[in-house]
Structure 1
Amino acid sequence: MVVTINYRLGLFGAFPYPELGRDVEFGLQDQQAALRWVRRNIAAFGGDPHDVTVGGESAGAMSTCSQLASPSAAGLFQKAILVSGSCAMRHEPGALAPGSGAVSTWLPLDQMHGPAMTAAANLHCSDLKCLRDKPSGELLAQSGPQFGLLPYGTDVLPIRPLDALRRGLFTHAAVLNGTTHDEHVQITVDGWQSAHLDRDGYNRVLTDTFGERVARRYALAPGQSPLAGLSRLYTDADWICPALTSNQLYAKDKPAFGYVFDDPAAPVADGRPLPPEVTPATTHASNIYYLLDNPALSGAERALSDQLIAYWANFVRTGDPNGTGLPHWPQAGGAQAQRLTPGATGPIDLVASHQCDLWAQ
C-alpha cells in the first residue's frame, strides 16, 4: 500500500526568520503530519500502522534523513529508503562550479537567518506580521535555492543529522540507501564545461583544491576527459562515499543495505543529452525509471527494472531486500554495497572502486 503526500517547499517549507524562533521547518512538519495521519487511518485501508516505510529520492532523501534524525518523528515509521541522498551528503569545494565553496544540506539555524532577513527586506517588511500580510505570490518571488537547505538547532532538527547518527540519536530503522554511479555528471557539465579545462588545468584544480594524494588517485586515464574526471571525483566525494558513511552508522543498530545503480543506458531524467566527453554515465534520478514499472524499458533494462522492483518490495515487506531468485545483497557495515547493473548485479567494495578511504567523514 502506497501513500503519497504533498508538503511545503522553498520559502514556504523552511523560513528561518528570527522572529519565528526554532519553529521554522514547515515542510518537515507537513511530512510528519502525513505520517501521523497514516498511523491513525491506514488500518481502515488494510494497512499496518506499525509497519511503515518512509522514502524519497534526491531532496526526498534529504527529507527522509531529516525524519530519521528528528525526535518528533520517532515511532512514525520502521523502515526508510533513501535514493540519491544521505545524512552525510555534502558538496566539496568546486563541486558546483570553479571557485565554489563547500556546501552542506543542513546548516546551523543562525547561519540561515541572513537569507530570510534579506527576503523580508526585499518585501519591505521588518516584522513577522508584515510578512504574513503579504500575498503568497510576493513571498514566492523571494524563494530560491537558499531556502532548499535545512536548518538544524530547531524544534524539528535539534542537531545536525550526521551528528545524530554518530550519537545514536535517531530513529533506529532498517535502511536502504544508495546512489547512481554518476550522480554529479550533469552538475559537473553545467558548472565546468565553460571552463574548457585541459589535462594540465585539471591536475592543477585537483592539486590546489584537494592536494597531491587526491590528484594522484583521480589522475585521468588515457582518453578520459577532464569533465569526466571531475564528475567521477565529485560523485564519489559528494554522493557515493557519504552514503557509505551513513550506512555504516545505520548498520550499528539495524540492518542497512547500500547500493550503486549502474546502467549508462538508463534515460537521463531531465531529457538533456550529455556531451560525449562524459559518456557513458548513469545520471542522477535515472534509476527512478526502473522502480516504476516503466513500459518503455525492454531487454536487459526491463530485467534490471524487475530486479529493482523485487528488491524494493522485499525491503518494504521485511526490512531486507533479499529474496528468491535475486542475487544476494550483503548488509552494509564495512565497505560493501550492491552494484545494480544489467546482467551482473552483485557486491562491490566502495573503497576499492570509489576511493572512499579518501572521503571518510
Structure 2
Amino acid sequence: MTTHHALTTLTCALTAALATTWPTAPPTQPTATTVRTAATTVRTVAGPERTAATTVRTHVGAVRGTAHDGYRTFEGIPYAAPPVGNLRWAPPHPAAPWPGVRDATRPASACPQPADEVPGGSTDEDCLHLNITTPDATAPARPRPVIVWLHGGGFTTGAGSSYDAHRMATRGDVVVVTVNYRLGALGFLAHSGLPGSGTFGLADQQAALRWVRTEIGAFGGDAHNVTLAGESAGGYSVCAQLTSPAAEGLFDRAIIESAPCTGTPDRPFAPSSVPLPTARATGDELATKVGCASSHDVTACLRQVTVPRLLAAQNTDQQPAYATPLLPTDPGAAIAAGRFHHVPVLIGNNHDEGNGWAAGIIQAGNPVTPDTWPDVVSAFFPSPVQTKAIIREYPVHGTDGGPVLGAVIGDANFACPTAHTAALLATQVPTWRYEFADKHAPPLTPGTPPFPLGAQHASELPYLFDLGGHPRTLTAAQHRLANTMINYWTHFARTTNPNTPSSPPWPQQTPLSLTPNHITPTPTTNSDHHCTLWNTLG
C-alpha cells in the first residue's frame, strides 16, 4: 500500500462514512402554515397573528419562516451576494436588498460539491445562505445566546441545512444559525492572480458572522453573545477563525468538536491548513486539468469553466491556505504562540475517532493482520523510527487489526492533539475538554462493519442535532446523554461555563467522559490513547 493510495483510501472511507449520515432524499419541508406535533401534521389557517410570528424584517428585506411546535425556522436567507461571474473566487459581497417578503420556508442549495454527503450533490454557486432556528417567543424577556454552526465534510462537502437544530434551540433556549460556505476548489483555490487566494470559504464564514452581529437581534438573538461552533472541517474552521485577525470581535466563545487545531504535517489527517505555496501548486494543477494553464488570463479562463468540470478536476482533499492576509499563520503555530482571540473554548474528541476510516480501509481490500501491519503503518508513517515505535506500542494479534488501526488513527490525529490543544488554550483562556465515549452510539452507515465502530468520528452529532431532519433512534439512556450534552453546550454559550445545577460537575480543563450511564471527570485520557508515544514522536 503506497502512502498516496493509503491516504486516498482513508479520504474515501470518511466520505462514505459521512455520506449515509444524511438521508438519500431530503426531508419534506413543512409549509409556513404547518404545525408539527408528535403524532401528526396539522394544517392551520394562516391568520394575521401566525403570519406576524413567522415574518421578520432584516436590514435588506423581510423573510417569512415556518412555525413549528415550540420553535420557528427561517431557511435559505442570503448573507452575501451569489459568488458567480466575476465574484467567483472573490471575497463575499453584501447581499442585495429584496422587495416584499422573501420565502424562507425551505433550504437553499448547498454549495457546489460531488454527490456524497448532500443527496445528488450540487452545482449551484448561488449558495451563500444561512438557516435560523429559534424558540417560539418572538419577544423573549432578554435576547437569547446565539450558536453559529459550521458544518464538517473535509472542506469539500456538507450543508448547513443538514443540521436540524430544534432540540438544541428549544431545550437550551438559544438561537442556532447554520451556515453554507464555499467548498472545494471554489472555496479554497489559490492562485497568484486572485486576492484572497486559498481562504474564500473562511471569508464566507466571517461574512456570515458579520450578518449575525447585524441581524440576529430581529430573531430574538443576542448579537453580543455569539458562540462559533463546528465539527471536523467545521471545527478546523473555528481553529482558523480563532487565529484570523479579520475575525476579531465576530464571536465571543468557541466550540471545537473533533478538530484539534495543533495536528502535525506528518499525520494522515493533518494539517488543517497548508502553506500558500502548496495551495498555489494545487491551484496550478487544477488550471492545467481544465485547460486554463496556458491562457493569457488564467483567472478569466477559470471563471468560464463549468462547475461540474471544476468538481471533476479538483483534488479530493482541500484545506485553507495560511501565509495569507486572512490567515497569516498556521492555526496550530498561532495557538502554540498564544496568538489567538482570547475567548472561552469548549473542545473535545470522540473516543474511537479512527474506527470508521479503519473499517473503510479494510473493506476496500486492505486487511490488517500481524503480517501486513508493518506495511500498513509505514504507509502512513514512512519514518522507520516512527513505524517501529508504533508497531511496538500497538501490537496486532490475530484478527484484531481493525480496532488497532482505528486506535492509531484516532490517537495520532484526534485524541492526543486535542489534549495538547486544550492544554495550550487553557494557559490563556477558560477551557473545557470532553471525550464522547458512547461505544453504542447510533451507526452512521448501513450494513455491518468489519468490527464494532464505537464512538467513531461524527458519532456525537445525533446527540446534538437531527441530521437531515430525521431523528436518530436513541435508547432512554442515550436520550438523557443527549439532553445533558445540549445542556452543557448551550449553558457554555450562555455563561462561558457549561456547568448547570442539574448536570454532573465538569471541572475546567479536566476532561469529561460523556457516556450514557457515566458522565464523569477523568484525570487524564493520555494513557488510554498512548499520548506519551505521540508526544514523543512530535
Normalising by structure 1, report the TM-score: 0.89
Shift of 1:271: 3.3
CA distance in 2, matches of 1:169, 1:314: 27
Greater CA deviation, 56-65 or 190-199?
A: 190-199
CA distance in 2, matches of 1:280, 1:130: 46
Shift of 1:331: 1.6
Structure whose CA Rg is larger: 2
The equivalent of 1:210 in structure 2 is: 386
Q: Which has the higher strand share?
A: 2
Q: Does residue 232 in structure 1 map to residue 403 in structure 2?
A: no
The equivalent of 1:359 in structure 2 is: 534
CA distance in 1, matches of 2:410, 2:339: 28
The equivalent of 1:350 in structure 2 is: 525
Q: Does residue 315 in structure 1 map to residue 484 in structure 2?
A: no
Structure 1 counterpart SS, 2:186: helix
Amino acid aligned to 1:24: G
The equivalent of 1:160 in structure 2 is: 330
The equivalent of 1:286 in structure 2 is: 459
Shift of 1:51: 1.0
Q: Does residue 19 in structure 1 map to residue 193 in structure 2?
A: yes
Shift of 1:133: 2.5
In structure 2, the CA distance between the partners of 1:270 and 1:88, relative to structure 1 (3 Å rule), is: farther
The equivalent of 2:213 in structure 1 is: 39
Structure 2 counterpart SS, 1:358: helix
CA distance in 2, matches of 1:90, 1:290: 29
Structure 2 counterpart SS, 1:86: coil
Structure 2 counterpart SS, 1:353: coil
Preserved CA contact (<8 Å) 1:22 1:153: no
Shift of 1:280: 5.1
Spell out the pairing of 1:49-60 with structure 2 (5 A cutoff). Answer: 49-60=223-234
Structure 2 counterpart SS, 1:199: coil
In structure 2, the CA distance between the partners of 1:29 and 1:206, relative to structure 1 (3 Å rule), is: closer
Q: Does residue 128 in structure 1 map to residue 305 in structure 2?
A: no
Q: Does residue 253 in structure 1 map to residue 428 in structure 2?
A: yes
Greater CA deviation, 208-217 or 165-174?
A: 208-217
Q: How many residues align?
A: 347
In structure 2, the CA distance between the partners of 1:89 and 1:268, relative to structure 1 (3 Å rule), is: farther
Preserved CA contact (<8 Å) 2:480 2:516: yes
What do the CA deviations read for 1:100-142 (whole angstroms, capped 9, x no partner)? xx74221111012222111111221131111122233332332
CA distance in 1, matches of 2:195, 2:424: 31
Q: Does residue 324 in structure 1 map to residue 509 in structure 2?
A: no
Shift of 1:161: 0.2
Greater CA deviation, 128-137 or 234-243?
A: 128-137
In structure 2, the CA distance between the partners of 1:273 and 1:255, relative to structure 1 (3 Å rule), is: farther
CA distance in 2, matches of 1:238, 1:355: 12
Preserved CA contact (<8 Å) 1:14 1:27: yes
Amino acid aligned to 2:526: V
Structure 1 counterpart SS, 2:349: strand
CA distance in 1, matches of 2:353, 2:376: 20
In structure 2, the CA distance between the partners of 1:141 and 1:213, relative to structure 1 (3 Å rule), is: closer
CA distance in 2, matches of 1:109, 1:29: 16
CA distance in 2, matches of 1:325, 1:219: 43
**What's the % identity of the aligned pairs?**
36
Preserved CA contact (<8 Å) 1:92 1:238: no
Aligned match for 1:83, one of 244, 257, 268: 257
Spell out the pairing of 1:186-225 with structure 2 (5 A cutoff). Answer: 186-192=356-362, 194-202=365-373, 208=384, 210-220=386-396, 225=400
Shift of 1:9: 0.5
Greater CA deviation, 160-169 or 84-93?
A: 84-93
Amino acid aligned to 1:359: W
Q: Does residue 142 in structure 1 map to residue 142 in structure 2?
A: no
Structure 2 counterpart SS, 1:50: strand
What do the CA deviations read for 1:195-229 (whole angstroms, capped 9, x no partner)? 32322443675584625444333234x77601211
Structure 1 counterpart SS, 2:454: coil
CA distance in 1, matches of 2:319, 2:472: 35
What do the CA deviations read for 1:8-51 (whole angstroms, capped 9, x no partner)? 11011100122225533111001000101111122233322221
What do the CA deviations read for 1:138-181 (whole angstroms, capped 9, x no partner)? 323323323x2121111111010011101221111111111111
Q: Which has the higher helix share?
A: 1
Normalising by structure 2, report the TM-score: 0.61
Amino acid aligned to 1:267: P
Preserved CA contact (<8 Å) 1:181 1:282: yes
Spell out the pairing of 1:176-191 with structure 2 (5 A cutoff). Answer: 176-191=346-361
Q: List gaps (5 residues or longer) in structure 1.
A: 96-101
Structure 2 counterpart SS, 1:179: strand
CA RMSD after TM alignment: 2.2
Greater CA deviation, 233-242 or 200-209?
A: 200-209
CA distance in 1, matches of 2:189, 2:375: 39
Amino acid aligned to 1:165: I
Q: Does residue 170 in structure 1 map to residue 170 in structure 2?
A: no
Structure 1 counterpart SS, 2:526: helix
CA distance in 1, matches of 2:488, 2:200: 33
CA distance in 1, matches of 2:517, 2:369: 36
